[in-house]
Every structure is written in structure tokens, then in C-alpha cells.
Amino acid sequence: MENKLFGKPVIHQEAMRKRIKALGATIAKDYEGKDLILIGVLKGAFAFFADLARAIPIPLQVDFLVVSRLRDKRRKDGGTVSITSDLSTEIKGRDVLIVEDIVDSGYTLTFLKKELLKKNPNSLKCCTLLNKPERRKIQVTVDYICFEIPDRYVVGYGLDYKDKYRNLPYIASLENVVAE
């Protein structure tokens, strides 16, 4: 049932369920026999992370980090990204898959990859729920993408606006949410 408080879905729950199931199977195939650790980027990835992890039917470990991005249009790199809460697990020699909510300009993911590579993982890839290629400011490889979306601000399924709407069970456009 759609939640009338939060506007119409841009991506429905059922579409996400199907896509995540398929992606989980692909990831399981790619990482069969490897030492996989999923790293969730909080807060935005929490809902996607929980569903994706359960859709990957091979042994794996999970860990999380929290990033904050202070935007500053005057800076060439669009602002500063920092890790406000770091991993609690050693990733040296392991096969790391970053789980992101959305890749927009690409600055956050670029920063994260650089930081995680310093810890010498065996491999480092990224999986994102949403990708906004039109907004990219810096070239960064995203290995697994659930959905590509146009340049508009979305909320729900972990994604926020002013720290709200994360509990919405589907993805909605912020314009619709605020208009109601």
C-alpha cells in the first residue's frame, strides 16, 4: 500500500525487491570463494544494505562507517568529506564491497575509495542503490548499480531530506513529498 503522507513512488518497493534480488545473485556469483566484507555507508545506505546483504547467498561479513560531507561550491572538490565513525573490522587482504545509497557528484565515493585503499584490501568495489550520471563532477567507477535516475532530489528507503523521510519504504521525488 502506498503511504499517502509521502507522495508517489519514483521507484516502487516491488521493483526494488526484484532488482536487489537479481543484483544479490550476481554479487554472490562474482564473490564465490572470496573473503567478502560489505561496508555500508551510513546513514543513507541502511535500508538498502539490509536488503542487499540478505539477497547475497554466500558467507560474508558486514561493517559500517559514517561519512559527512560539508558542501562548499567555492571549492574545486565541492566541499570536504570526512569519516566521522570508522570501521571496526580489519579489511587488509579482504574483498571489500562498499554499499552506497546514491552516487551523485562522485566526490564521496572517490574519497572513500582512497581512504579504504590505504588499508590494503585484496579488492575494492562499489555497489550503489541509485546513480545520477548527469550530476557527475569527478570520474569514479561504480561496479554495481541498482537504478540510474535523472537529476532530481529523491528521498526514502534510507535517503533523507533534513534527516527525515528515511523510513519511506520506496523512493520518492522530494518535490512530490514537499508538495503534499
Residues within the interface to ligand 5GP (CB under 6 A):
44, 69, 101-109, 153-155, 159-161
Cβ closer to ligand 5GP: 56 or 109? Answer: 109
Chain centroid to CA 113: how far? 13
* β partners of residue 116: none
- From the list 98, 90, 89, the residue with the least C-alpha distance to 48 is 98
The Cα–Cα gap between 136 and 120 comes to: 27
* Residue 104 known to be catalytic: yes
Amino acid sitting at position 113: K
Nearest approach in angstroms of CB 37 to ligand 5GP is 20
Cβ closer to ligand 5GP: 23 or 99? Answer: 99
Nearest approach in angstroms of CB 87 to ligand 5GP is 17
Q: What is the DSSP letter of 134?
A: G
Instruction: Please tell me which residue in 63, 104, 160, 163 is annotated as part of the active site.
Output: 104
Nearest approach in angstroms of CB 60 to ligand 5GP is 22
Cβ burial of 172 (10 Å; 0-12, 13-18, 19+) is: buried
Nearest approach in angstroms of CB 123 to ligand 5GP is 22
Neighbours of 146 (CB within 10 A): 19
Cβ closer to ligand 5GP: 56 or 103? Answer: 103
Cβ closer to ligand 5GP: 63 or 160? Answer: 160
CB contact at 8 A, 128 and 144: yes
The residues annotated as belonging to the active site are 104
